[in-house]
Amino acid sequence: MEDDEDIRNFVTIALERLGYTVHVAEDGPKAVEIMKSSGQIDLLLSDVILPNGMNGRDVADAFLEFYPSAAVLFSSGYTREVLNRRGGFDDSVDLLVKPYTVNDLGARVRGVLDN
């Protein structure tokens, strides 16, 4: 999930070209709607900072209630150190820092899914 339309389009196209099925949401409430209506989702890829009342952590919490054995990968323009200072974003959280390439995205998604 990504609120920036250009990044959202980049991620969607890249993941689809890598063979993944992608459900697209621009904010947390839309993502929760998708979670409720989808059969199985193996991974949530979410920006940390989102509009409309839910941040990435909120969405991940909701996602894991629907899909407790699924994986979560966060994305942010902020470094892990900045996120740690702002709200306990510890080292156990999978984070892909922007900007990233298609290869970076593909490798991180595959790695998170394989764990």
pTM: 0.92
Residue 82 has pLDDT above 90, yes or no: no
pLDDT tier for residue 88 given thresholds of 50, 70 and 90 = low
Query: Domain 5-114: which topology?
Result: Rossmann fold (3.40.50)
Exposure class string for 48-68: b at 16+ Cβ within 10 A, else e: bebeeebbbbebbebbeeebe
Token pair 């080292």 is found at 91
> How do the domains of the chain map onto residue ranges?
5-114
Nearest to 77 by CA among 98, 102, 55, 101: 98
pLDDT tier for residue 102 given thresholds of 50, 70 and 90 = very high
